[in-house]
Structure 1
Amino acid sequence: MRLLSNLLTKFVQNGTLRLVAADGESHLFGGKRPGPVVTIRLHDPALHRKLFLNPELHAGEAYMNGTLTFEDGSNVGDFMYLFSLNRAGLGGHASQKLLRSVWRGLKRWHQANPIGVAAANARHHYDISTDLYRLFLDDGLNYSCAFFSDPEHDTLEDAQRNKLARITAKLRLQPGMTVAEIGSGWGSLAIHIAASTGVHVVAINVSPEQIGIARERAAEAGVADRVEFRELDYRALEGRFDRVVSVGMMEHVGIGNFDAYFSKIRDLLTDDGYAFVHCIGRMLPPGTTGPFIRKYIFPGAYVPSLSEVFASTERTALWVADMEVLRLHYYHTLRHWRARFAAHRDRAAALYDERFCRMWEYYLAAVEVGFLNGSNMVFQLLLSTRRDAVPIVRDFMLADAHAR
């Protein structure tokens, strides 16, 4: 317990952490500055050492396994909020500096995503029951950052419809055009584009579960003749398209594949076409994927810094014709997801089990505070091989978005 106490003394500066150790002894950390008061109880003495060595991984695992519990009205959301307010202090501890240096050395291996591995990583997350996702996503099954015109009053459905309309407006589609969507989820964007513009969309995905549902939804929407869903890795897609769309996909290509990703987008574009890329990013220098997220939620995933993104577009000779940064929109999206998951937790437990529910709670709480107090945001790019493929005045985006 001595090593863990040393770590927590330096870590918790904002708010207060009351820790009841496995022997029943109570320890108090922080209290110097305002913040939440959180009480946790450890039920396994091995956690004293594990939490010192790798707190970001083992705290999540202990909560999943029931060997870390909350008391005095505290919950996992409070715990992650406290963590987010003190994260800088954790990274400054000597043990964590060493751990992060190891992670940096291994990150290209962690994010290696050759074709077969990429498909397996995607299915790890997306081929669980769609009934689970229906418990917390909007009615369109959009599993990416929404756009809140009014965070206080917009419903999740409102915000996701806003997002689809804004993306479609940025594409400036005309009759007869073709669109390729890389990583199409359950098909909402492809269906919206086809229904609102009449263009033909080829949407690819490596998740059979998602593709099957997307095809059903396209038929129900009456656009099955305009949207073609293919089970395909993006590197295998052939042809040339007026627009290429990628929403929530770049995070999964792997840090060693950014150049191949942007090169593929470039090769898929017609001479006067352009691409839309929507991706989670970080406002800090390049980092690593958190160990809990990497192990249990998104294996192979990596959130790039903007310096990594633009270095790759430079190497692949793509114009960044437009960029927009969405800062708190994903926080508000996740706030809705976490509330909906909590409201339907009993149904999630019936689908899987209690351990799965705790894993999902920890994941949603962790990423929510990452967008509130951490370095995460979402960026949207328009990319082209020609400097004039995108209009030089961006007013068209807003006008078209309101029209849709």
Structure 2
Amino acid sequence: MLLARLLSPALTAGALDIVGADGRRHRVGVGTPSLTLRLHDKALHRDLVVNPRLRFGEAYMEGRLSIEGGSIYDFLALLCAGPENVQGVLGRLRETLSPALRLAQQNNPLRRSRRNIAHHYDLSRAFFELFLDRDLQYSCAYFTAPGVGLDEAQEAKKRHIAAKLLLQPGMRVLDIGCGWGGMALYLARMTGAQVTGITLSAEQLAVARERAALAGLSGRVRFERRDYREMEGRFDRIVSVGMFEHVGVPHYRAFFAKLRDLLAEDGVALLHSIGRSEGPGSTNPWFRKYIFPGGYSPALSEVIPAVEKAGLWNTDIEILRLHYAETLRHWRERFAARREDARALYDERFCRMWEFYLAGAEISFRYQGHMVFQMQLARSLGAVPLVRDYMHRTETALTDAVPPPLRTGRTIGANNA
């Protein structure tokens, strides 16, 4: 079997049985396999060789293949955890594309951006409540110690970002890509800031506005369905968490130029984004088609030149390595525990799509060079202190602070076990 021969170099620490649609069994690797990949469709023998990075995920979604003896995560980990990563065997994480085609895939004008965001983020709140934390944080958490739970780690992420923003009561804050409003509400409640949150998702906007009203914060936090390119005015602070992945390399110079225009002279911005440690690449075709159309996780070598050309000071960069792998592990396990609820909301194919997404995303952070970077930016050389110990002091103060009580009402994320 050609597929078995292609996968063989990746299995240097383990073994796998592949059972073809004709019932023949092929062993790959060394030792006794714990997993079996079973193909149920003869066409897969060709499809998985010609275009494995797209067709494997599609076949899993459609039930045309199955994993026996473990989960889809176990299978992907077996192929990717060894020194000869399966992506090296199948052409690396990058596709063989011309630079022009790669940039075309990341071209996200406003109309396309709205469509791309709706594709993923306009799924129902009830669905995301199945596996996210209480605050519906859909980005990398910050695990300060072994054994920390997801809710605590997401609170720590918000504290960590708030500390880097050097907030004071009454400051005007713009949250670009505000999601369901958790970060904006946290900053307003804990620091007394006046926050404007913007999103392109109609579903997220409705939830964020509801949450602000329930928390009694509508006077200090407002949410709008707008793109960053449509914003005007000046803000003391700008924060963007998990949105930059949707901008696209062709728009980086315009994004940072707009960021500079929106920042006050002594303003500070904090950008939190997925990145890649191995240089520029391209988005996995299955992820691009089914999960994040138009999405791309950049290398810092693609981001920093755009920051420089915008005339911004890069005052701090922090790399979060395995934090997102741990976040995704929590999401994957929570999703598995509530899988039947997800199936009731959508269908079996949808559940298998999300299983593959969560497993594949976790693998990319554990074994394939993905990471998260937090980049602190300023217009002025003296906008932030010269040493970083202010971050620790502020995080400690926020940890010890007693937040103002929320109004009684429905708690978002209360369904989470």
Question: Is the TM-score greater than 0.5?
Answer: yes
Identity among equivalent positions (%) equals: 51
Task: Identify the residue that residue 12 of structure 1 maps to in structure 2.
Answer: 11
SS in 1 for 2:268: strand
In structure 2, the residue matched to 1:126 is 121
1:382-393 equivalences in 2 (<5 Å): 382-393=376-387
Aligned match of 2:36 in 39, 42, 54?
39
Secondary structure in 2 matching 1:162: helix
User: Which residue of structure 2 aligns with residue 355 of structure 1?
Assistant: 349
Any stretches of 5+ residues in structure 2 without a counterpart? 399-417
Instruction: Judge conservation of contact 1:104–1:288 (CA < 8 Å) in 2.
Output: no
Map 1:110-259 onto structure 2 (within 5 A): 110-152=105-147, 154-259=148-253
Equivalent residue number for residue 66 of structure 2:
69
Moved over 3 A (4+): 86-93, 95-99
Equivalent position of 2:413 in the other structure: none
- The residue type equivalent to 1:38 in the other structure is L
Question: What SS does structure 2 have at the residue aligned with 1:96?
Answer: coil
Q: Which residue of the partner structure matches residue 362 of structure 2? A: 368
Residue 202 (structure 1) shift: 0.8
Q: Secondary structure at the match of 1:100?
A: coil
* Cα-to-partner distance string for 1:32-64 (whole Å, 9 max, x where unaligned): 7x9x74211000111111111121211111110
| Pair 1:227–1:60, CA change in 2 (3 A) | same
Scaled by the length of structure 2, the TM-score of the pair is 0.92
Deviation of 1:403 (Å): 1.1
Does structure 1 residue 80 correspond to structure 2 residue 76? yes
| SS of residue in 1 equivalent to 2:138 | coil
Deviation at 1:245, TM superposition (A): 0.6
Q: Which residue of 1 aligns with 2:336?
A: 342
Match of 2:52 among 52, 55, 61: 55
Shift of 1:372: 1.2
What is the distance in 2 between the residues matched to 1:204 and 1:77? Answer: 34
CA–CA distance in 2 between the matches of 1:326 and 1:363? 21
What's the offset of the Cα at 1:89? 5.0
CA deviations on 1:98-140 (whole Å, 9 max, x unpaired) are 9822275521111110000001001100001111100000010
- 1:296-315 to structure 2, matched below 5 A, reads 296-315=290-309
SS at match of 1:202: strand
Residue 341 of structure 1 and its aligned partner are, at CA, apart by 0.2
How many Å separate the matches in 1 of 2:389 and 2:85? 43
Provide the aligned length of Structure 1 versus Structure 2: 398
Kept after mapping to 2: 8 A contact 1:104/1:287: no
Between 249-258 and 168-177, report the one with greater CA deviation.
168-177
Q: Deviations over 1:329-375 (max 9, x none)?
A: 11111111001000000000000000000000000000111111120
| Deviation readout 1:174-213 (Å, 9 max, x if unpaired) | 1221001100000000000001111111110000100100
The Cα of 1:88 is off from its aligned counterpart by: 4.6
1:371-393: CA deviation from partner (whole Å, max 9, x where unpaired):
11120111101101211111111
Confirm or deny: 8 A CA contact 1:211 1:231 kept in the other structure.
Answer: yes
Change in CA separation of 1:197 and 1:91 when aligned onto 2, cut-off 3 Å: closer
Q: Identify, as 1 or 2, the structure richer in helix.
A: 1
Could you say what secondary structure the match of 1:17 adopts? strand
Aligned-residue Cα RMSD (Å) equals: 1.8
Q: Secondary structure at the match of 2:96?
A: helix
Task: Report if aligned partners of 1:146, 1:333 keep a CA contact under 8 Å in 2.
Answer: yes
**Matched residue of 1:391: which SS?**
coil
Unaligned 5+ runs, structure 1: none
Q: Contact between 1:51 and 1:59, CA under 8 Å: does it hold in 2?
A: yes
Cα 1:286–1:119 shift into 2, 3 Å: same
TM-score normalised to the size of structure 1?
0.95
Partner residue of 2:403? none
